[in-house]
Amino acid sequence: MSGRPGTGQTVAAVDLGAESGRVVAATFDGQRLDLDVVGRFPNGARPVDGVLRWEFERLWGHVEEQLAALGRDRPIASVGVDTWGVDYGLLRADGTLLDEPTCYRDPRQVRAMAEAIGMVGQEALYAATGCQTMEINGVFALLDDAHHTDRLAGAATLLMVPDLFHHRLSGLRATEHTAASTSGMYDTATGTWATGLLDALQVPTHLLPEVVAPGTDVGPVVGPLGAGPLAGTRVVVPTGHDTAAAVVGTPFGGPGGLFISSGTWSLMGVERDDALVTPATSAANLTNEGGYAGTVRLLRNVMGLWLLQECRRQWAREGADLSYTDLVELATAEPPLRSIVNPNATDFLAPGDMPSRLRAYCARHGDPVPETVGAVVRCVIDSLALTYRATAEDLVAATGDPATSINVTGGGSQNALLAQATADATGLPVHCGPVEATALGNAGVQLIALGELADLADLRRVVAASGRLRTYEPRSSSAWDDAAARLRQLMTADDQARGLRGG
C-alpha cells in the first residue's frame, strides 16, 4: 500500500483552529496512520485596545507544554503546524513578536476592503491574485495597518500565523506556500507575492518573506524544546493552512469529487493541477489557494459552523447550555426551508448576538422569523446546504467539469442533519469523514518528507484504510429548487451592498 514499510516513527501535528487547538501524535505502522490526541485547548480572539486579536503567546504556551509532554513520552521524528489562514503576525528585526496578531473578524477589515475596491477596483484585486474578494483577507488588514496606524513602523518581517509557530520552533523567517495563498496578496498561479497590487494599494512590500513549499524540512527544533524533550526532532513545514491539510487528508473516491472542509468556516471546492483565473471565476468570486505537491484548490469560503458556534455562545450567556447534539435534535423537529439567510452576509462576520442577527436578517428580507432555538438552527443548516449547492453550481460552471460527489471532512462531518440537507440540496451523494482529516494531512506531509510515505496518492490510500466514511444519498424535492433561487437573490443583493458584483 505505502511507498515502504512503516518504521513506527511518530510525528507531531499541531492543528490550531479558530475555536480550539490540539497537539496530535501520529504513528504510521506501514498500513494505518493512528492518531493520539495529546491535548486540546480553547482558542478565540479578544478585543485589545479596540481591535480583535489572537492570544498567540497563550497558544504558544499550550503548544510548547504539550509538545514537551509528548517528547518526554516517546521519540518524535518531526513536528509541523497548521492553522487558520488569512491572518499574519509582525516580527521586529530581532525576531521578537511586535504584538498579538489581529483577527480577520475585526470591523476594520470591512472598511479596508471598501477602501481597496475604491482605489484599484475588484477586478484588479482578483486579477493580481486569483483570490476571492472577501473582508477577511490579510491584504485588507495590512492596508489598514499601512494607511491608518503606525503599526508597521516597528516591523521587519510579516509571517502568516502558522509561520509564527514554525519561527518559534526553528527560527525560520519564511512563509509556507498554502498559508501565503490565503492572504489576498499572493499570486497562486505564479507562486509569487503580488507586489504590483500592493504597490498600487500603497502597502509596503519589504516585509514579505521568502515562500517555502509544504513538506520542507527547515531544520531541528531549537530553544528549550530542542535542548530537552524534542532533541533531534526536525521541523517539517506541512501544508500550513488547515484547509489545505484537510484536503491532503481527504480520500477522494474518484474524479469529480468536491470537498468541504467543515468547521468554523466551510471551505468548498475542487482540487486542480493549476490555478483558474477567468471571467467566470471572477464573477463567481471563487478563490485559488495553494495545495500540496503543486496542486491548487479552487474554492469558496462559506461562513460555516461559526453561525452555530456564536448562537450557542449567546444561548449560554442567556442560561441555556446546549450541546451541538442538542441543537441538531431541536432542529430536526422543525420544518425545512422555512427561513433562509445568506451565511456570507457581512451581518454575520463579527462576534455577537447571532440569533438576533439571523432573526433581523430574515425580517428584513421578508422571510418568516425563526423564533425558537430549533428554528434558528434549522435556518442555519438549510442555509448552509443551499450555499453549498450554489457553490457547487458555480464550480461546475467555471471549470466545465461535472461534480459527482461531495467529500466532507472536519467537525461538521459529524452533523448528520447538515450532511443529509447537503445531499438533498445538491442532488449529490455526500461522503462524510474523516473527522481528523486536517491532522492526518499535516502528519502525512511530514511522513512523506521523512520517506515513510511515497506521495500524495499513497497518503490518501492510507487515510482511506485508516477510517470509515458515512454516505448520505440525496432525496429529491422541488422545494430545494425554489429555496435555491431565493438564496441566489439574497447573495446578489448582499454582494452588491458590499461593492461586489452580485452572483
Give me the active site residues, please.
Answer: 242
Tell me which residue of 203, 176, 205, 178 sits closest to 193, measured CA to CA. 205
Q: How many whole angstroms separate alpha carbon 314 and alpha carbon 365?
A: 23
Q: What's the grid cell of residue 114?
A: 471598501
Q: Cα–Cα distances in Å, from 389 out to 393, 406, 409?
A: 6, 10, 17
Strand (E) or helix (H) holding 80 = strand 78-82
Tell me which residue of 295, 241, 294, 247 sits closest to 268, measured CA to CA. 247
The string over 314-327, giving b where at least 16 C-beta atoms fall within 10 Å of a residue's C-beta and e elsewhere, is bbeeeeeeeebebb
- Can you tell me whether residue 15 is helix, strand or coil? strand
Q: Which residues contact 3 (CB under 8 A, 6 or more apart)?
A: 451, 452, 453, 454, 455, 458
Tell me which residue of 47, 38, 141, 37 sits closest to 89, measured CA to CA. 141
Q: Cα–Cα distances in Å, from 442 out to 26, 35, 63, 112, 439?
A: 10, 11, 15, 33, 5
Q: Is the dihedral of CA 16, 17, 19, 20 positive or negative?
A: negative
One-letter amino acid of 11: V
36 pairs with which residues across the strands?
25
